[in-house]
Structures are given as structure tokens and as C-alpha cells.
Amino acid sequence: MVVSTTIDKYFYAFVNVNDDDNIQITSSDYRTFYRHNPNKAMLWDGPLALPRAILHHFGLRHGVSMFLASEIPPGTGLGSSSAVAVTIIKAISTACGLSLSRQKIAELACYIEIDKLGKPIGKQDQYAAAFGGLNVFAFTEEGVSVESLKVTPEVVQRLQENILLFFTGAARDSAQILSSQKRSTEKDEPQVIEALHAVREMAVEVKHCLEKGDLCCYGELLDLNWQNKKRFAPGITNSFIDECYALALEKGAIGGKVTGAGGGGFLMLYCEAPHRERVTEALEERGLHRMDFHFDTAGARVLMNAGLRLPNSRWETLRPQPLVVSGQTLAV
């Protein structure tokens, strides 16, 4: 079980249909380019594996040009890879004339990342990016349930103002940390299992705190969450992160955590108004950079559609037609 919200930092997919015999993908974040020959099988290994796996799933082999760009650096713990999956699926399915529900888009993104690509990740990021907003996601053997939090606009505004995001200046590959955590879980290592259960129970408490408007309680739970999260696997924290976190608490923050798998990326803090500037100044002196943001509730959506359609698993068009889709990243 997790409580999460999406923020106004987006991943964009620009899809263009043409009469070329190949598929081309350009990524501004990774500064890389891929061109697919339709006479060869579409494989999903190496650079740009995720968009290639999605194109393979939809049976596309020619006549598509795709440009990908993100407002957030990859590997910074804000759910960017799953926002990529959700955004591209939203774009391609729309172009195919399919009207997939948010649930279906999230399920397909999970399938592509976890089953097809074999990533050692969970499902919370895909669901957050697909649905948007402040939600509780519960994961069971029967499936995933989605519940929108019953929080007043005033509480949402205070929560948005009091959550601070600081970029530590370090991106990381989460696979090593998550693979270690997965192995420990499969081996039923007591320390990891106990910490996972504790974090799950905290999600229930966080839900109650937010719905009651008790944000100080939420901040305290963040700190407790972080102490347990550090038990999941080696590499989740380091001496620099620990020093910055301790400094933030000393200057008035109530609690916080490193977003995503850990090891770098963004340090998220809960800090009320009287202490925000003092915390910001102290961490920026240590080389961290605060990123302003706002909550966003829309989820992945089409920004512009010039009428793309893909009947019978083939791109058919009289002239080039653009499609632009954005998907959110998540913070909490």
C-alpha cells in the first residue's frame, strides 16, 4: 500500500506518422537515437529498450517517428521511467484509435516494465502517472485498487507548500538497489520483511493523518518511513545524504526521505512555513538545489492530436500527423 501524488514535472512523447519504411526514436534525455529496419525483428534490449518494447507490443514496424523528452533527469527517484511507459502507451494507444482506461494503461505499463523488460520494480509509479492526483494504491494478489484521498483543498494547499524537494546532484541506476531488495524479500530476511511491513502500515497511518489534516503527524511518519526504508537494501543512503538529512532536521524540518529507490536523486522533506527558508539556505549551502513544483491531478493526457489512427495494426495516413502526450512524475 502506498500514498502518492503527482506533480507538474512532465515527460513528453511527440509521435509523428509518415510514409517512411522505418521507425525512428530520439531521446533528448539520453542523447541517443534509434532507427529500426522493418525487415528485422523489433528487439527491446540496449538503448531505448522501453519505447522499443512498447512499439513491439502494438505491432509497429514502420512509418513512426518519436521524440521523447523529460523535465526531470532520469534516475532521480521521481518515477520517471514509469512516466515514460505510461506516456508512450497513452500516445500509441490513442493513435491506434483505442480508448484505454487509466487502469488499463497502468496495467499495460506494469506488464511492459516488469514482465517484458524484467525490471525489479513495483507498480506504484505506473499507477500514479496514469491516474494523477493524490491517491492511495493497495496492491494485493487480486489486483490493484485505487482510492482518491478525501482531503480538503486547504490541507492539499498546505501539504504542497510544506513539501520541499532538493536535488542532491546525483542520478543513479535503481536496478542494483531494487534487485538486492527483491532478493532479500524472496529469502524472507527478517530485517527487510519487518521494515516492509512497517512501511505498509505507515501508509495506512499517512492516509488517516492527511484526511484529518494532521500534517505534523504526516511529517513524523515520513521520518519513521525513512528509518525503515534504509533497512531495505545497501546503497539506499550514504554519508552525504545522511549529513544533509540531519542538517535539515536541525534547521526545522519534521521528516523526510530520499525519493524512489534511494542512493541519490531528490531529498524530499516536510517542513512548515517558519523553517522553510532556513532549511533551504542550509541545504543549498551544501550544494543541493531546491526544485519548486505544484501538485497535478490530470494524469497522462493528450495535449494535441491531429487525427492519427492505426487500423489493423498498420499506420495509415495521407500526410504526416503529430500527436503530443504528457505524463507526470511523482514525488511522494
Closest CA to 286 of 256, 250, 332: 250
Which amino acid makes up residue 217?
C
For CA atoms 128, 78, 7, 157, the dihedral sign is positive
What cell does 317 get?
495516413
What does the buried/exposed string (b/e) look like for 27-39 if buried means 16 or more CB atoms within 10 Å of the residue's CB?
bebeeeebebeee
CA angle, 105 then 109 then 112, to 5°: 140
| C-alpha span between 60 and 292 (Å, rounded) | 38
Residues counted in the chain: 332
| C-alpha span between 54 and 35 (Å, rounded) | 15
Is 292 assigned a catalytic role? no
Neighbours of 154 (CB within 10 A): 9
Q: Which residues contact 137 (CB under 8 A, 6 or more apart)?
A: 1, 2, 4, 123, 124, 127, 128, 144, 145, 146, 147
CB 169 within 8 A of CB 258: no
Closest CA to 84 of 56, 63, 57, 112: 112
Q: Active site residue: 19, 21, 115, 125, which one?
A: 125
- Secondary structure class of 68 (helix, strand, coil): strand
| C-alpha span between 253 and 279 (Å, rounded) | 7
Any idea what DSSP says for residue 133? Answer: S
Catalytic residues: 125
